[in-house]
């Protein structure tokens, strides 16, 4: 592989005009496609195989034309102090508002609070429910403005009016903090390279790669049903890995220049050595992201595949466009150790070389491996302790900031009708195969009334055919409580008995039941996902490092870092530690998909640093250095650039903490803290300590397996042999 990438790097350097033209053309084509593509609506959220999804699909069949997947809004009214909603003046205001709401072209129906008995027992709170033909993300601005204007009219009449539901759902925005993240990355690159030109190359190539990836996602969003979060995730990961991959190529190029090679030869060798590490690092990220399809949640699968595509583009750009731009830069990119005018002049030739910080740190770890190992493991273990209190759920209006109208509507409904009113359960009774459907409907209602934590059970509402009915159940507890979860399982257990007696199917759905099913599905998929992703990457790393213990150590270190990162997420988003600093206005359960998503993404990123850092150690070892010295050599060449890469990745991820979308905010924080733990604790401390303790055993591989594995030559040994510039005897491995 090193030889092929070496030739590709030299070709890209020589034919830089052609290479640059190809990438600019692809960016233009993707941009035009994104601009001309129809606007994407809200990505459908289906969970194949769950009972809640089966019930939803059954409703579509048996109750056609009801727009079960359309947006809803609850317009909640509260009377002024000392008045009631049943007072003539207040009643007239509400009925006028209901009439205005019914005039919208996308409105299916509006319930009158007084006819639907949607007035609280004390008469102070009432609500009208508005159902739309399309989802919240597909509602046009005119419909949303009409909803807000009708509420404003009631407010002017003296009522307190708030609006809940998904009709006011908005496209998430990331805010200016994303730009700050990129700015921090630029500063780190300038400090690392000491040159504006060299620092600008990784930023430029990363932005081009992300531009192509995100534009392609935008262009295909409508056809493939991709949500807005998909492009945000692709941008987040694409920027981080795009900058890092280009950073490693440019750093190796400068090191080759420092050894006296011509610029074209240096570009080829950088692509052949660091480029090989980039390929395998990119493969681990792609495996982790594509592996999310194991969960069988279409939205998560699409997010993973789209982000993996952006990573693949970042790898291709690093291998081709970076060498091409190095050709354009010429002498403006200085050899390693020679600083530009920006940060000072180079050291004099007769000045003795001073060990850099990476060398001094690695030497310390090699001398004190047990102490460093224990300190690192204990520290990460302490950070992981909050993860033992992890509570999973999906966000609803109750998790919104108290400054939003959705949250205030949620609180008013809880005040007037009880906390469970915000998470009603819909029971669908399929009595098509039953002899007496009406009797089955009545039996089901009576069985539910006998369960704990049930406040209200509405009479069954059959369809036109009379073979299917819906029953609405109001729990006594809030939607995200364990008590409500137990009630859902209790209804399903009762339904199993009814099916045995009457052949009727009893299914529970609704947003609360869907959240419960999603959490259980994700929990069930976590272990198979870990086995698949970690197993495939383990095999890949065996090929890269030609070792058993090094990949095993890499996987165990990853588990430490991801558990510590989950503990930090729980501490901030569930317990509320530093919530003000992070902009978390409302604490609550961690999103159900967060653990499995973090496992996928963090594993790929963790293997990035493992490949980049340890390949330099192996390169030194196979060329004759002792194991302990190889660790120090690897840090001398790689620690500075890995540190810069980690800081850049943390800055990019942290930039998304300013997002208005709670999921994006949580992912940004989780990934940023995970990179910190993995890069600076696991890879910079635990890894060298373990390698120092293992010595030559770290690089042991059974001979039969050594013969069976393909030789991918990540260290670029083929390039050294071909050029004859290595006169050292290779160590036996």
Which of 127-141, 615-629, 678-692 is the least confident region? 127-141
> Considering only 154-158, 202-206, 345-349, which range has the smallest mean pLDDT?
345-349
Cα distance between residue 426 and residue 63, in whole Å: 14
The better pLDDT of the pair 661, 280 is held by: 280
Predicted pLDDT at 338 = 65
pLDDT per position as a tens digit, 604-619: 777 777 877 888 888 7
pLDDT digits (tens, 9 = 90+) for 457-488: 888 888 888 889 999 898 988 887 888 889 99
Q: Which residues contact 584 (CB under 8 A, 6 or more apart)?
A: 572, 573, 576, 665
Q: Determine the Cα angle at 454 with ends 453 and 458, to 5°.
A: 170
pLDDT of residue 727: 40
Q: Which of 140-154, 168-182, 668-682 has the lowest mean pLDDT?
A: 168-182
Q: Average pLDDT for residues 495-499, to the nearest whole number? A: 90
Element (H, E) at 488: helix 482-502
pLDDT at 728: 39
Distance CA 278, CA 255 (A): 17
SS3 339: coil
Query: In whole angstroms, how large is the CA radius of gyration of the chain?
Result: 30
Mean residue pLDDT of the chain comes to 83
Q: pLDDT tens-digit profile of 36-75?
A: 877 655 555 567 778 888 888 888 888 876 655 567 888 9
* Whether pLDDT at 364 is above 90: yes
Q: Can you tell me the distance from the alpha carbon of 513 to that of 519, in angstroms, rounded to the nearest whole number?
A: 10
Instruction: Please compute the mean of the pLDDT values over residues 518-547 and round it to a whole number.
Output: 83
The pLDDT, as a whole number, for residue 534 is 80
- With the C-alpha atoms ordered 578, 582, 587, 591, is the resulting torsion angle positive or negative? negative
Q: Read off the pLDDT of each residue in 270-287 and give the average, rounded to a whole number.
A: 85
- Range scoring the smallest mean pLDDT among 223-232, 258-267, 322-331: 223-232
pLDDT for 124 beyond 90: yes
Helical packing angle, 88-102 and 141-156, nearest 10°: 170
Surface-to-core class of residue 339, CB atoms within 10 Å of its CB (0-12 exposed, 13-18 middle, 19+ buried): middle
Residue 430 has phi, psi (to 5 degrees) of -100, 100
Is 60 exceeded by the pLDDT of residue 374?
yes
For residue 533, name the pLDDT band (cuts at 50, 70, 90).
confident
């Amino acid at each position: 592989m090193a030889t092929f990438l070496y030739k590709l790097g030299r070709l890209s350097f020589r034919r830089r005009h052609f290479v640059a033209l190809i990438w600019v053309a692809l960016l233009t084509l993707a941009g035009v496609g994104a601009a001309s593509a129809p606007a994407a609506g809200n990505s459908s959220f289906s969970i194949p195989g769950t009972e809640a999804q089966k019930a939803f699909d059954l409703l579509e069949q048996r109750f056609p034309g009801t727009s079960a997947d359309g947006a809803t809004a609850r317009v909640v009214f509260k009377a002024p102090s000392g008045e009631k909603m049943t007072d003539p003046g207040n009643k007239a205001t509400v009925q006028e508002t209901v009439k205005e709401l019914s005039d919208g072209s996308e409105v299916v129906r509006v319930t009158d609070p007084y006819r639907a008995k949607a007035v609280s027992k004390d008469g102070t709170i009432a609500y009208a429910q508005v159902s739309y033909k399309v989802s919240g993300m597909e509602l046009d601005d005119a419909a949303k403005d009409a909803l807000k204007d009708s509420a404003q009219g009631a407010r002017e009449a003296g009522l307190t009016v708030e609006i809940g539901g998904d009709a006011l759902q908005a496209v998430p925005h990331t805010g200016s903090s994303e730009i700050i993240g990129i700015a921090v990355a630029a500063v780190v690159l300038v400090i690392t390279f000491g040159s504006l030109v060299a620092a600008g190359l990784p930023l430029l190539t990363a932005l081009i790669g992300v531009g192509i990836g995100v534009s392609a996602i935008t262009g295909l969003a409508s056809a493939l049903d991709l949500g807005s979060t998909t492009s945000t995730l692709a941008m987040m990961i694409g920027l981080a890995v795009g900058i890092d991959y280009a950073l490693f190529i440019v750093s190796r190029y400068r090191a080759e220049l420092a050894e006296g090679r011509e610029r074209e030869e240096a570009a080829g060798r950088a692509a052949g050595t660091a480029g090989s590490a980039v390929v395998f690092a990119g493969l681990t990220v792609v495996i982790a992201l594509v592996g999310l399809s194991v969960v069988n949640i279409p939205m998560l699968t699409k997010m993973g595949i789209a982000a993996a595509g952006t990573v693949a583009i970042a790898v291709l750009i690093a291998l081709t466009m970076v060498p091409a731009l190095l050709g354009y830069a010429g002498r403006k990119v200085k050899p390693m150790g020679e600083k530009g005018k920006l940060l000072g002049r180079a050291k004099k030739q007769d000045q003795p070389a001073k060990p850099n910080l990476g060398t001094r740190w690695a030497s310390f770890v090699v001398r004190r491996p047990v102490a460093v190992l224990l300190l690192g493991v204990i520290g990460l273990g302490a950070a992981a302790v909050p993860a033992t209190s992890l509570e999973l759920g999906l966000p609803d209006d109750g998790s919104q900031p108290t400054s939003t109208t959705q949250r205030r509507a949620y609180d008013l409904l809880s005040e007037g009708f009880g906390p469970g009113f915000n998470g009603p359960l819909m029971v669908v009774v399929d009595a098509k195969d039953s002899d007496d459907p009406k009797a089955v409907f009545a039996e089901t209602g009576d069985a539910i009334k006998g369960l704990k934590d049930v406040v209200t059970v509405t009479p069954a509402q059959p369809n036109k055919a009379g073979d299917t009915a819906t029953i609405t159940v109001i729990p006594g507890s809030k939607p995200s409580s364990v008590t409500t979860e137990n009630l859902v399982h209790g209804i399903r257990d009762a339904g199993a008995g009814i099916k045995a007696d009457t052949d009727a199917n009893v299914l529970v759905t609704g947003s609360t039941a869907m959240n419960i099913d999603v959490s259980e599905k994700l929990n069930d998929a976590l272990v198979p996902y870990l086995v698949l992703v970690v197993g495939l990457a383990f095999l890949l790393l065996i090929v890269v490092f030609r070792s058993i213990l090094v990949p095993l150590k890499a996987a165990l270190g990853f588990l430490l870092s991801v558990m510590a990162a989950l503990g930090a997420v729980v501490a901030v988003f569930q317990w509320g530690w530093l919530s003000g600093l992070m902009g978390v206005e409302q604490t609550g359960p961690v999103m159900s998909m967060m653990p499995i998503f973090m496992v996928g993404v963090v594993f790929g990123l963790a293997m990035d640093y493992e490949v980049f850092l340890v390949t330099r150690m192996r390169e030194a070892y196979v060329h004759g250095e002792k194991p302990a010295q190889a660790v120090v050599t690897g840090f001398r060449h790689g620690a500075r650039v890995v540190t810069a890469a980690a800081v850049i990745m943390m800055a990019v991820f942290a930039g998304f903490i300013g997002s208005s979308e709670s999921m994006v905010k949580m992912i940004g924080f989780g990934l940023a803290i995970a990179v910190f733990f993995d890069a600076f604790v696991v890879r910079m401390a635990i890894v060298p300590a373990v390698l120092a303790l293992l010595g030559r055993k770290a690089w042991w591989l059974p001979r039969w397996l050594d013969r069976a594995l393909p030789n991918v030559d990540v260290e670029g040994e083929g390039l050294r042999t071909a050029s004859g510039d290595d006169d050292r005897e290779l160590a036996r491995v």
